[in-house]
A and B are shown apart, each in its own frame.
Chain A
Amino acid sequence: MNPALLLLADGTRFEGSGGAALGTALGEAVFFTGMTGYEEALTDPSYAGQILTFTYPMIGNYGISHDVAQHPRACVAGAVIKQLAARPSHHASKIALGAWLDEQAVPTIIGIDTRALTVALREHGTIGAALAVGDAAIAVAEADLTRYVRSATTAGLVASVADAYLDGKTLEHGGKRIVLIDCGVKRAIVRDLEALDASVTVLPYDTSREEINAHAPHGVVISPGPGDPRDLAGMVDTLRSLVGEVPLFGVCLGHQMLALACGAQTYKLKYGHRGGNQPVKDLVNPGVLITAHNHGYAVDGASLPAELEATMINLNDGTNEGFRHRTLPVSGVQFHPEASPGPFDARYLFAQWLESLP
């Protein structure tokens, strides 16, 4: 077993043991509170550039199935696990989590007090960290971390993961034509739209207005993805030009970009929402949805311009969870209707939106 070290930018150290993947992961340390869904989370492109801590202490129990992967490869920078199941048990399991993390070269630290880490992240807020596995990596971790913190940027994160659907092919299903803007899209979104008979064309995050329009879509979905929505100024501009031209629906990062395009502001949350138990209050059709979240930034509800109305808020902290344009077909939600991992309370939103398209 290799020694491993998780070093936070404030000097807090956690020593544990590492997997076979040697080296250093540099990124933001964040925590995910779901009790299941580690495969989906580790392959969720929105975690790009992040060292992901699982608050649930026993991870890997049911192995890796490949069926639920959200991206062809692991997207996290590093993984933090209290206890890694040595031998999984599940009919769908193809490989043990530990072996897969090694195969995916994800630096992983095991056996640390993940709750103490979570409390630290909650109190301090998201913080830069280095996760080093192996004596050599540990020896240079401190210097690496200093360098990373000095130059930390979220720019380029989207580019690093928006590569799962590069062929630009449309999957014909006979239903509505949907352009899905890939900022680090999850497979589950494609799956959910196709399940509703939509013909989905996935186009990259830097596609122009003209290229999008060339597909004559009935609607455009802007996907979730990693990092700060302001990093994708080009797409925000494109979206601004599409408002009123074609129905737009943003999910998570897509929701934030759409808000920027409509003149609202976004900001960074202290430690974000990452898990599957966030209560969202629907302000339009009163009720509460339990939803899947993975975001470090949020739309400032107070900044919504007059033509936007908030449709949903988070019951825990009051943050904006959804808005719509008062007159035009533009809407978004901060959470993940596609779940994966997480509850399916909000899955109906895709159907509802497709239904609303002309």
Chain B
Amino acid sequence: MARRTVLVIGSGPIIIGQAAEFDYAGVQACRALREEGLRVVLVNSNPATIMTDPEVADAVYLEPLTVASLERIIARERPDALLPTLGGQTGLNLAVELAAAGVIEKYDVELLGTPLDTIKLAEDRERFKAKMIEIGEPVPSSVIVTDVESGVAFASGQSYPLIVRPAYTLGGTGGGLVHSEAELRATLATGLEASIIHQALVETSLLGWKEIEYEVLRDRANNCIIVCNMENIDPVGVHTGDSVVVAPSQTLSDLDYQMLRTASINVIRALNVQGGCNIQFALHPDRNEYQIIEVNPRVSRSSALASKATGYPIAKISTKIALGQTLDEIPNPVTGVTKAAYEPTLDYCVVKFPRWPFDKFPLADTRLGTQMKSTGEAMGIGRTFGAAFMKAVRGLDLKFETLTGGTYGDWSSDELERILVTPTHERLFAAAELLRRGRGVDELHALSTIDRFWLYEFAELVALEDALRAGRAAGEPDPERVRTAIEAGYSLRGIASLCGCEVGFGGPNSGQFRMVDTAAAEFPARSPYYYLSRGEADEMRRPPNEAVVVVGSGPIRIGQGIEFDYSCVHAAWALREAGCSPVVINNNPETVSTDFDVSDVLIFEPPGADEVEAAYRATNARGVMLAFGGQTAINLAAELARRGVAIIGSDRASLDMAEDREKFDAALARLGVARPQGRAARTFREARVIARELGFPVLVRPSYVLGGRGMEIVYNEGQLASYIGSAPPPTPGSPLLVDKYLRGLEVEVDAVFDGEDILIPGIFEHVERAGIHSGDSISVFPTQTVSADMERRIVEVTHAIARELGIRGLINIQFVVFDGGLYIIEANPRASRTVPIISKATGVNIVAAATRIALGERLRDMPYGTGLLPRPDFSVVKVPVFSFAKMRGVETILGPEMKSTGEVLGIDASYAGALRKGFIGAGIRLPRDGGRVLVSISAAEKAPDAVGLMRRLVALGNVLVATPGTHAWLTEAGIPAEFVNKISDGSPHVLDLITRRDVDLVINNASGPRGLADNYRIRRAAVEASIACLTSLDTATALVTAFESESGPPRSLQEYQSFRVAAHR
């Protein structure tokens, strides 16, 4: 009998509300399916994922997640079944749409797991509400509306605030809390638009109630278990993705706990869920009353958190349940002896803290509500809440080592109180600062409605910090107090900053690891999953082979995404292959790297110097690998070296050289490699002098940055002055870099160097010219416009730089080709964003190669080849994806500062076809035949090639609509266009046009200072109206190129890669 084939749909690009948790879930699902002997076909447009590795599924399709694209793949692969509940909301919605389009029936595909009707019922507010009422479960009073007026009518019988929740959206897009009829009208209008079924719920607010979640599993035999419950520190009103979440609940009595547990089981049974399900409750703080807020009949962000919090692999067990197995027959992978039918019990506490992108978007609206805004999260495990909380806070990688201190001391009490009432990402820090100022818990509770329990806990931490600070005067820190702080989850650096002097562990930094065993030590467990518990007994079992520590990259944020997790996982796998025992240290609960079967030892801790050192010493490791964990890991190099921790791979000297501008420049000078002229400035005055010397425009940025944070192109003295006004002052340790800005073609390489030979699987070029962050550019492989001579030069230079820097492993270099010359912009001695893409496009596992080099192997002894590998006969195009709709107030124009949250890949036989798939995957389409394109082009770019672009748009059947300046320019060029007023010219003006959705695409590239407020408002309006807005003519040109031609049929990654293998032979 032929093997049954199962189709798994992934969740697509990382966006706010849908992050790496579905990579983790998808990988577990694929593995579980293959364990059962099934053939797995996986579709996901996100190339940075582990799930899209050819090792994970039998056929991987990096194709757009659309009904049309899925139908082509289904027609080609003829899967027997589809597993819809592991690809987040995207995967779920696609399954629903495929069924609605008749595709499921046409190709006779069986839907596994939770029935489609359940999925629809849980998403359809009205049916859901009716069902809950039918089974006697309480739901808030509400109305389902499909138009604004019905919502307003309902509101007249209720009191504000009310909550608006659009149906079928991610992370609550378009929803929110409204306090007045005007707000209700506005929110409802956008919310209805965001909903694919044009439906929203308006309901009474449960503001201030406790928010509690239960993760439940049910099998077809009606067995139910609770994997974990969780309590949000932020009461109802803040999206759970933006809440600080604690597992298990802390303020619920057993009666409360069991009341909600029983309700959870009632709900999951009534809905006939088969697999995982998340249920959100509001629990009244003053009486035994609850309401059901929401049910997600699929794995989710919360189930990822629950899995990592307990060690129970929810996605894997859900998959087995979907295949018809029951909980009492599935083996328990943690203990190895018992069954999956049991409820984990914890003997520790887990805290999840969201990671928001506000550090990159200083102008964003930072208020938290029902619209999720965080990009990722850090989790802390500790025996006490305090320790878990401090680990989560430190793990954000925002340099918060303590709860008090920092800049909050400068805030007025009024300002602090304001954000207790109207929460922002800084609320808990504001609470801590107020506690430090002696304010009482009752008062803070009254302002914030945060349960007193948490405030008491914060007060304890604040008191500890105060005591350490008070000891400052006494000189020597009190060792007892230091010990208390270490046990309470503080880092040495944090304690030192409080005490004002260096402190130590007062003993060896190892031997205090605790096991996560799902059973509170009742049974001996096999899972090699640990956390640090300072001052307690050690349970670390030495790994079977020589250990090597892989340092992870922490929470997902803009500039450091899932791609680094991809590299860490591959490093771990390569280590295992090489006979070593991989030890992974990371604190991101969403990721594959924090699955305990990826490594021989998983240490769930923030990847800080204290913890990495402890991991290294406790496992008696040969060394620590920093090159895969992004800048977070690289930044540890100096401190780890100081503590005598062996760094393997590129060692500290090379890590330092690539970051120390002057050393790097000296190296380039020795090699005769050009760089855009520039120098490091130690003061603002020096920066001004350098800029004048170089001539404007210049690129300014602080050194040691990630994702181009604080980087700007500055065109004149005035802009430089305003940059200086807003940037943190440079210091001798971290100077400001001032470079000449060259607007040329940007080229990027990822290479592996073993000390002698170099391997360059391929060279990327960017669609957008230099000046737009590489993470936000469309990247193309193989190159389309780089000459063979130039490629040779790139290889030479890459080789020379790798040698000069002493690289042993990966190096990523970004170049600009300008006026026929090659200039180097930056070199990173580490894995990069493009590593997964080049690995997938070429089939060359460069992370494995780099890992083996770090262990002492040579490229010539590996199967990958050396030098620049031959070009493939297909193209891949990476298109960035943004989450601007969820980030009110953020400027969308692209520049040196990275703004995208994720990416998709297009692969096709032709470049244009790959571009087209990339754009479609990213959700951008070019209207044709009567589509309306709003154009406003900056004066600087009203050039002949822009005219050509406009003509091509018209030739595709589009109607151009232009603002006055652009209209005049088009008219002069003889291109027909409709005229529309600037905002200042009065209505009907350009904003009206957008708000009415009277255009299908916006091209607006007017950049420069914020004075050009009109353009900013145009771009924001487009985002709010869900109209694609391109801010670079290079992107627009690529879009036209893409839609002038067709793309080819889908092919699996395995098929593409076999081309490479054939070519190689």
A residues in contact (CB < 8 Å) with B: 31, 33-37, 39-40, 55-58, 61-62, 65, 67-68, 82-83, 85-92, 113-116, 118-119, 122, 275-279, 281, 286-288, 290, 315-316, 339-345
Contacts and interface: CB of A to CB of B under 8 A. Distances in A.
Interface string B374-410: 0000000001110000000000000000000000000
B500 interface: no
B1060 to A, nearest CB: 49
B286 interface: yes
| Closest A-B pairs by Cβ, 8 of them | A37-B254, A89-B453, A55-B520, A277-B343, A36-B254, A116-B537, A341-B254, A118-B521
Given A115-B514, A116-B536, A286-B221, A122 B345 contact: no
A34 B345 contact: yes
B255 interface: yes
Contacts of A344: 258, 261-262
B222 A287 contact: yes
A41 to B, nearest CB: 9
A61 B342 contact: no
A118 B522 contact: yes
Contact of A290 (B342, B522, B539): B342
Contacts, number: 159
A315 B345 contact: no
Interface of B: 221-223, 225-226, 248-258, 261-262, 265, 285-287, 327-328, 338-339, 341-349, 383-385, 451-453, 456, 514, 519-524, 536-537, 539
Contact of B343 (A31, A91, A290): A290
A33 B258 contact: no
19 contacts: A35-B345, A55-B520, A56-B520, A57-B349, A61-B453, A62-B252, A83-B383, A83-B384, A91-B287, A115-B520, A115-B521, A116-B537, A277-B344, A277-B345, A278-B342, A281-B328, A288-B225, A316-B342, A342-B258
B519 A33 contact: yes
Given A118-B521, A279-B341, A288-B327, A65 B258 contact: no
A275 B347 CA distance: 12
Contacts of B328: 279, 281, 288, 315
B347 A56 contact: yes
Given A340-B254, A344-B262, A287 B536 contact: no
A91 B261 CA distance: 20
B251 A62 contact: yes
Contact of A57 (B257, B383, B537, B539): B383
A355 B708 CA distance: 72
A305 B346 CA distance: 39
B209 to A, nearest CB: 12
B516 to A, nearest CB: 11
A278 B328 CA distance: 12
A279 B337 CA distance: 14
Contacts of A118: 347, 520-522
A315 B341 contact: yes
A66 to B, nearest CB: 12
Most buried by A among B344, B453, B520: B520
Given A57-B383, A90-B253, A341-B254, 15 more contacts: A35-B248, A36-B256, A56-B345, A58-B349, A62-B252, A62-B253, A67-B255, A86-B456, A89-B456, A115-B347, A277-B343, A290-B226, A290-B342, A342-B254, A342-B258
A92 to B, nearest CB: 7
Contact of A89 (B251, B261, B327): B251
A87 B452 contact: yes
A171 to B, nearest CB: 22
Nearest to B451: A89
A56 B346 contact: yes
B503 to A, nearest CB: 22
Contact of B342 (A82, A90, A279): A279
A276 B344 CA distance: 10
B287 A55 contact: no
Contacts of B262: 343-344
Contacts of A281: 328, 341
Contact of A91 (B265, B285, B339, B537): B285
B259 to A, nearest CB: 9
B383 A275 contact: no
B1011 to A, nearest CB: 51
Nearest to A113: B536
A31 B254 CA distance: 17
Nearest to A83: B384
B524 A122 contact: yes
A91 B209 CA distance: 13
B221 A287 contact: yes
A23 B212 CA distance: 41
A229 B451 CA distance: 45
A316 B327 CA distance: 12
B258 A68 contact: no
Given A116-B536, A118-B520, A343-B261, A61 B254 contact: no
A235 B647 CA distance: 71
Nearest to A339: B258
Contacts of B523: 122, 316
B458 to A, nearest CB: 12
Contacts of B251: 61-62, 89-90
A275 B344 CA distance: 11
Given A55-B347, A91-B285, A116-B537, A68 B255 contact: yes
B286 A91 contact: yes
A88 B254 CA distance: 14
A287 B520 CA distance: 25
A73 to B, nearest CB: 19
Contacts of A89: 251, 451-453, 456
Contacts of B539: 119
Nearest to A340: B254
A89 B210 CA distance: 13
A55 B521 contact: yes
A347 to B, nearest CB: 9
B347 A122 contact: no
Most buried by B among A55, A113, A279: A279
A306 to B, nearest CB: 27
Contacts of A115: 347, 383, 514, 520-521, 536-537
A57 B384 CA distance: 7
Nearest to A68: B255
Contacts of A316: 338-339, 342, 523
Contacts of A88: 453
Contacts of B345: 33-35, 55-56, 275-277
Given A55-B521, A288-B328, A40 B254 contact: yes
A62 B288 CA distance: 14
B463 to A, nearest CB: 11
Given A36-B257, A119-B521, A114 B384 contact: no
Nearest to A316: B338
B520 to A, nearest CB: 4
A288 B326 CA distance: 10
A315 B520 contact: no
A109 to B, nearest CB: 15
Given A58-B349, A62-B253, A343-B261, A122 B522 contact: yes
A76 B504 CA distance: 41
Contacts of A345: 265
B235 to A, nearest CB: 13
Contacts of A61: 250-251, 453
A288 B456 CA distance: 40
Contacts of A277: 342-345
Most buried by A among B254, B328, B524: B254
A82 B257 contact: no
B248 A92 contact: no
Contacts of B223: 287-288
A29 B37 CA distance: 47
Contacts of B344: 277
B311 to A, nearest CB: 14
Nearest to B257: A36
A279 B339 contact: yes
